[in-house]
A and B are shown apart, each in its own frame.
Chain A
């Protein structure tokens, strides 16, 4: 269907086919019929697609990650690809001039909404206010009119660091406010912050195919969150052979052995970090000798901590049998390849994230 949708979204084709295509695209996107006129307008004009970017309870790390993106880089993104109509960190206007820009786009144009940061619910939401309105008020005003919502980062996706126990402000992610969002489709791009590649890839996919990429059960794009870190890790062979770092800076650490015993959360974390890496310099946390913190998973600040303690119930295949980490020596050398290919049997520990316990 994708090809039909793409062809019929081309404004050059006849009007009837065009409208039909928009209807199909709306269905593919899970949009209500009321959204079709907006989609028609967006597709029929040569305008750069408009993007509104809202900041709530956040650290701006997700915006900063865009400064690191290289393809497209930020200048190309905002000058050639999208029209970034509202973004507090970047926009020249401030105060009521800025708010005017926001309402202009919300009321008059179709737009994609990007949300960075969590939304506090406690005490009527007074813990985050912009232009005199709470984050909840702003979300209710903007989100239902958006074509789609991209929740960038773990905060907008799942609540993030401010939602960690005891969650003093009642912070939650966008998808936790269905009553404010009003049926607009939501894509989560978690990570703290996420790799810009995952965000930009989603934007480019959406703009090109006019539909969302395939998502997992937590609304994360499969192209970026489809596999476990553990299954893509360059140190996986060391895990399989039972070669572990026992302490940062020890001989095993100097040799690049597996970081599971010093707290790596790769066995329970779904993300593309080992595959796409960061900053265009082929790095990710494990490549600088630190374990994965599990930052793309919901509630990782509670479920993956203490960060320097190992995950429970992860068994290690060694010499053809499955053994606990404690019974495996630091350097089990000369083990046959028999162990390779047997995937780690990841038990359902108390910290294990629901629905994510199946190995791919």
Chain B
């Protein structure tokens, strides 16, 4: 008989998420994803100055800090047809790349590692054997017996104090925890080291952004980060080389520790590779533009349907109509009034709460669809799209990680394993490595441009009478983000955000098609319904961000194309 499990709150994510599953015969047979918070930020923006929108929207999320700021200024610039200076584009790219490094590291260690790593088991590890294991995987200088012994002592003291704090009453000793004690101790040590390296990334971001979370160096028309090598208040060569040093250190950590740990988890949990694919339609945005106009992207965008690389269609610029014309959001199963599907520019929002209804309405998150289909977004989507395009850096980086997993697992694995819970972690680690490379590339482009004498950072916006519509597209750490704005006589008339976690965490649509979280849980094993660790594994692999996912949109009763439920 099916058993119902409700997990509320889902912890180690941003925001308030509830997941319900039905378990039958040790497997998940039904799933519901429900956003539990609503703030109404898009309504707050109505009537305000479009130049202010990025400061408001950045507060959609402090974990995804920067991303809603970048998408917002792009949306207004797109509406005005305003090009920004090349320096501004490159500085924004560095903001994007550096934030991504911080975010991916924090996600793997602080937010998801404890689904795979048994902290208590690490107490049984031998520090010397741990160092031997770590050395077999990587040359990271931090992997010494002394370091591992110190971490073990720290853990011992914590357990002896009887105050486990955030580690209390978790999933230690769960039958799905499979790592040997030494692998667990290595991971706990890296968990602590990751806190130091994510901070280095935030320091680099601070130099450009003035502070973070929530940078304060953007504007509609460019950036305010002053580039004047001859003025003490500006970003001088000392500041630029400080950034380079910090990013180089973070890059080392990513390649020698983060990627290595993901490879180890992937190889040691090979039995998990068949789980968690869910929706295999993928959508990614192009980004990291090397030209002022936003037409030459270093990160590839596009779509792939049904996991078939042959279906790849590119999205290549900030103004690509293939993306702009094919997005709709369904509210049929949400706590909003109506049951339509609408394009974001046509949307509105009226909350209408009903409580949790399995067969009715159950979430504050809307259900975005591309050509009527649910799409998975995030680092995996970007890797799949890039791989399908033969994008050089993507192919090289993905193959390198697959080779490493094959070597540790002792079995040859190919890109097909990426359509999985573990694949999402692997893709994120690959992306972190790529972003470290791209960050340093764009640093070089910026320095060369400054060297050529170009110090321009800002093209002032002017707002004509009448109506303008724009979209700001950005590939955030959790996937494609788009802000849709309608400006009337210099004021915001409508503002809607279609966010990565809206794509992934959204509920069923009018046609009953589940969202990616829901689909990915189907068939996952559940060893102990009282401690549903497996649900956390799959949900965390998406890196949920629920503050982002919930805002408001309204569609109009358009028919949604019926397709086979996944």
Contacts and interface: CB of A to CB of B under 8 A. Distances in A.
B20 to A, nearest CB: 11
A353 to B, nearest CB: 18
A57 interface: yes
B477 interface: no
B195 A129 contact: no
B86 interface: no
Interface stretch (B43-51, B391-399, B426-434, B496-504): B43-51
A13 interface: no
A93 B115 CA distance: 10
A307 B55 contact: yes
Interface stretch (A143-151, A282-290, A332-340): A282-290
Interface stretch (A24-32, A60-68, A222-230): A60-68
B60 A283 contact: no
B119 interface: yes
A84 B219 contact: no
A307 to B, nearest CB: 5
Given A192-B214, A285-B217, A308-B49, A130 B15 contact: no
Q: Which of A94, A131, A281 has the most CB of B within 10 A?
A: A94
A167 B114 CA distance: 38
Given A61-B65, A290-B210, A162 B195 contact: no
Q: Per DSSP, are chain B's interface residues mostly helix, strand or loop, or mixed?
A: loop
Interface in A30-54: 47-48, 50
B270 interface: no
B457 A249 contact: yes
A137 B102 CA distance: 35
A87 B457 contact: no
Nearest to B211: A278
Interface in B222-244: 222, 224-226, 228, 231-235, 242
A306 B457 contact: no
Interface stretch (B4-12, B133-141, B247-255, B416-424): B4-12
Contact of A248 (B8, B59, B199, B458): B458
Contacts of A73: 195-196, 199
Interface in B139-173: 154, 158, 161, 163, 165-171
Contacts of B7: 94-95
B52 A307 contact: yes
Nearest to A88: B11
Contacts of B55: 293, 307
Q: Which of A95, A98, A130 has the most CB of B within 10 A?
A: A95
B558 interface: no
Interface stretch (A178-186, A204-212, A253-261, A313-321): A253-261
A293 B207 CA distance: 18
A128 B199 contact: no
A325 to B, nearest CB: 19
B327 interface: no
A288 B226 contact: yes
Contacts of A169: 38-40
Contacts of B242: 281
B56 interface: yes
B2 interface: no
B9 A98 contact: yes
Nearest to A253: B226
B202 interface: yes
A149 B540 CA distance: 30
Interface in A50-102: 50, 55-65, 67-68, 70, 73-75, 78-79, 82-85, 87-95, 97-98, 100-101
Given A162-B44, A253-B226, A288-B208, A193 B214 contact: yes
Contacts of B226: 253-254, 256, 288-289
Contact of B353 (A123, A279, A290): A123
B547 A129 contact: no
Q: Which of B8, B221, B547 has the most CB of A within 10 A?
A: B8
Given A59-B63, A127-B39, A305-B48, A248 B219 contact: yes
A93 B547 contact: no
B547 A59 contact: yes
B310 to A, nearest CB: 39
A153 to B, nearest CB: 9
Interface in A240-294: 247-249, 253-256, 273, 278-281, 283-290, 293
A312 interface: no
A288 B216 contact: yes
B470 to A, nearest CB: 18
Given A67-B198, A87-B166, A279-B207, 20 more contacts: A48-B165, A55-B15, A59-B14, A61-B62, A61-B65, A89-B12, A89-B14, A92-B171, A95-B532, A98-B11, A128-B38, A131-B9, A248-B458, A249-B85, A249-B457, A256-B232, A283-B207, A288-B217, A289-B234, A305-B49
17 contacts: A48-B163, A58-B547, A59-B59, A59-B547, A64-B213, A85-B165, A92-B170, A97-B169, A127-B353, A162-B39, A164-B56, A168-B44, A171-B39, A248-B219, A278-B212, A290-B210, A290-B224
Interface of A: 47-48, 50, 55-65, 67-68, 70, 73-75, 78-79, 82-85, 87-95, 97-98, 100-101, 123, 126-132, 160-162, 164-169, 171, 192-193, 195, 234-235, 247-249, 253-256, 273, 278-281, 283-290, 293, 301, 305-309
